[in-house]
Amino acid sequence: MTLARNLLCVLAMKAGNKPSTRAKLLLVLGDGASESEAFLAGLQGRGGFQLVRASTAEIAEVVLRDFPVSLALACAQTPADEIERLVAAMERTRHAVPVLAIRHAHSGEAERWAQLGVGILRSPLLPDALVRSVEVVLDLKRKA
């Protein structure tokens, strides 16, 4: 079901339902049923961001190839090898964007991922931490 939903999203975007030129397009890698949902809702609710979900790195590669993605965000439950496939997809598409991965406090990917250029946000996150991290990575000015 998630695969079908993601493919419909990509097809709708290809058909002309593209994101607003003012909104930053954020690619969210994850299956959509995660502990990261509350933080993602905060991003979407903030405005200025449009989230496109991809359940696999293969779907993410299609989005990267066809749309102006500003940042990729991997949810906490996303397996490490799927995030590494996302980085490889970026290399294949020559679409280098910042990657942030939400990981549990004691996961051990930090050293390997630092070499790949993946930023790590440790969970549990404070309520506004994801929004602020995305703003910092994208060099956005916070509205008062």
Tell me the mean pLDDT per 10 residues along the chain, length 144: 47 50 86 71 80 93 93 92 92 88 79 84 85 89 58
Domain 2-137: CATH superfamily, name plus number: Response regulator (3.40.50.2300)
> Cα(45)–Cα(139) distance, rounded to whole angstroms?
19
User: What is the tens place of the pLDDT at every residue in 85-97?
Assistant: 999 999 888 878 9
Please say whether the beta carbons of 25 and 64 come within 8 A: no
What predicted TM-score, i.e. pTM, was given to this entire model? Answer: 0.79
Instruction: Please give the pLDDT value at position 53.
Output: 92
Element (H, E) at 118: strand 118-123
Q: Are 55 and 32 in contact (CB under 8 A)?
A: yes
User: What 3-state class would DSSP assign to 92?
Assistant: helix
